[in-house]
Amino acid sequence: MSHDRPEATALTPERRTIDVIPDDERHGRPVNQFTLWFGANMQITAIVDGALAVVFGADAIWAIAGTLVGNLAGGAVMALHSAQGPRLGLPQMISSRAQFGVRGAVVPLVLVVLMYLGFAATGTVLAGQAIGKLLHSENRAVGIVVFGALTGVVAVLGYRLIHVVGRIATVLGVLGFTYLAVRLFVRYDVGAHLGGHGFAAATFLLAISLGASWQLTFGPYVADYSRYLPRNTSARKTFWFTFAGSVLGSQWSMTFGALLAACAGTAFTVDQVGFIGALAGPAAVAALIYLVIVVGKLTINVLNAYGGFMSILTTVTAFDPRTTVSRTTRAVSILGFTAASMLIALAASADFLDNFKSFVLVLLLVFTPWSTINLIDYYLISRERIDIPALYDPTGRYGSWNLPALACYAVGILAQIPFLAQKLYTGPITTLLGGADISWLIGILITAALYYPVATRTARPPQRMIPPARTAALS
């Protein structure tokens, strides 16, 4: 049953961090997951992601089909993580301690923090360009600083405001992207740019990988935004609303990106934000489209800053038994993370598209095994029976380091290397496959084959879920 505290509003700073959300502070409905993830995916970086397969040689039709396959497959995995939120009332990466040990979970956590920084920085570059256009400023630092400040404010206020921003982004995204799609078809003979290159396995698999990696990289933080839902919320509803919002939003954006790249070529790839503004038409309408870009990027960038703080706190508390921090510490940590992402954005390479492709595919390399281990344990081994107090106790049920699980994780990463197709390295098997990158699929299969039999022998889940003895009061 949901009980909202009367003083809590979207502008009230959040009280909780990595501690369990008590039942009397649970609120919201599963449909809120749809608007959050739809709004977070209706944004320019997803457009760029969809354009990448076309930029690197795929026909737009096959790029769209490939990203759809990837989004569906990766979205199902991502939504399974989301369904853990209401049941556990915990941030996603805290639950990883049940698989890797209280301190062993720090290994994937370090990579998660790097992911958040990378996505926050690349998103800040694009949003900063849009703000620069709105402010008629040629100084790219101005837009980056303004956007970073907006990100910090929303992330500090926390969960409720993040969901409000997601709802706003959903409405603006639907209106703005529909208008842009109409403008694209008016300005270009879109049909003439489709089907000219035919099918190529390598670029089709690249498109699948881009879609799958986009979804799978949400896995480490998706439950952060469902953990306040009432405990009796249907896992099925949480899954489907999250899945539908994330897949529909991302596929809409990626389809638009593939069509843009096919029709406009280098005019889009050289200046993504400027091209979309020009496509919008009159200056007043272009300004509104820049605002849509900023709000969409704000939604996802806030998730990165908020999730980055959660992951840093989860890492620190693995060696410090605290489960809560003061609001001041929370605010300073979030603002520090945001400042770091801004500095990276200011130093970003001009070769954005190529670097971004390499970045998302490297992330897929390290998160596929983590996601596989987490889901196998939660749904097949522990079967939702988690000893929550032991997640905070290195001497408890889960111990400090689960070496068998960490070994499976490491092998899952290493097994993918011969199948990589990266800017700096192409695996020997990838070369035999004509450049097709299937490393993420190998990562899932190898990790599952190793971890499941190991976990059935070594895991010691409780007979039923063990809730926390009490929840610390917060001022």
pLDDT per residue over 112-128, tens digit each? 888 888 888 888 888 99
pLDDT tens string 27-83 = 999 999 999 999 999 999 899 889 988 988 889 999 999 999 999 999 999 999 999
Average pLDDT in the chain? 88
pLDDT tens string 432-449 = 776 677 888 899 999 999
Q: Which of 133, 137, 153 is nearest to 44 (CA)?
A: 133
pLDDT tens string 219-266 = 988 999 999 999 999 999 999 999 999 999 999 999 999 999 999 988
| pLDDT above 70 (res 472) | no
Q: Does domain 23-354 have CATH number 1.10.4160.10?
A: yes
pLDDT tens string 338-365 = 999 898 888 875 666 566 656 766 777 8
Q: Domain segments of the chain: what residues?
A: 23-354
pTM (2 d.p.): 0.91
How does residue 111 score in pLDDT terms, banded at 50, 70 and 90? confident
How does residue 7 score in pLDDT terms, banded at 50, 70 and 90? low
pLDDT recorded at residue 103: 95
| pLDDT above 60 (res 6) | no
Percent of the chain with pLDDT over 70: 93
| pLDDT above 60 (res 286) | yes
